[in-house]
Amino acid sequence: MFKATDLKVYFICGTQDVKSDRTIHDVLKEALEAGITLFQFREKGPDALQGEEKRQLAETLMALCHQYDVPFIVNDDIALAKAIHADGVHVGQDDATVADFATEFEDKIIGLSVGNVEEYQHSDLTHVDYIGVGPMYATQSKDDANAPVGPEMIPTLREYVGDLPIVAIGGIATNNAQDCFKAGADGVSVISAIAQSDDIKSTVANFLQSAKESQ
């Protein structure tokens, strides 16, 4: 059963995000041991795995997450999420419309990216369990990222969505996560700050501490 606290330290990663001398499996295992609360498999870019290779990796990473009782979310790929019985799916404004697949994910977690009030007004949140708000700051992890909206967008959208859980996304690092929590985010979603970290245990602990101090 999904709860807002699952978003606290939300790690997003694909093979494109890890250092060349690491594997995504090793990085994820370290992150899980350190205490991440949710994982999203986001395989993007020109060298992204496809087809059976992508499916096999997704199944392996999902099994690893489940060893730690951490939900496994698939980014954008509805067919893959269905095929492997993932715990949920996250889509952006330009991806599949939630209403088109919601009935097939009734007992699953559905996340939607909502960057600003205009996107909120064009979004159907009927079946959505949480929204990802951002980018908070400039980010190199997404080639198509919009201009940063800053943590102030969190209370702005909170007025519209009420108690719907919000996770901050985009350019979040250990030195700015607390601003997102203080602005009212239920969690922070992070790619490179964890995937590229030389000390994942310390990095995740720092994010968890930021969440705790903001409660």
Q: What is the pTM of this model?
A: 0.96
25-48 pLDDT, tens per residue? 999 999 999 999 999 999 999 999
Q: What is the mean pLDDT of residues 85-109?
A: 93
Q: What is the mean pLDDT of residues 188-199?
A: 97
Q: Which residues are identified as catalytic? A: 42, 113, 142
The owner of tokens 């080639």 is: 143
pLDDT at res. 137: 95
Question: Is pLDDT of 91 > 80?
Answer: yes
pLDDT at res. 95: 82
pLDDT at res. 141: 62
Going along the chain from its start, the domains and CATH numbers come out as 4-213 (3.20.20.70)
Question: Is pLDDT of 150 > 90?
Answer: yes
Confidence of residue 55 (pLDDT cuts 50, 70, 90): very high
Give percent above pLDDT 70 in the chain. 97
118-139 pLDDT, tens per residue? 999 999 999 999 999 999 998 7
Give percent above pLDDT 90 in the chain. 92
Q: Residue positions in the annotated binding site for Mg(2+)?
A: 76, 95
Q: Residue positions in the annotated binding site?
A: 40-44, 75-76, 95, 113, 139-142, 171, 191-192
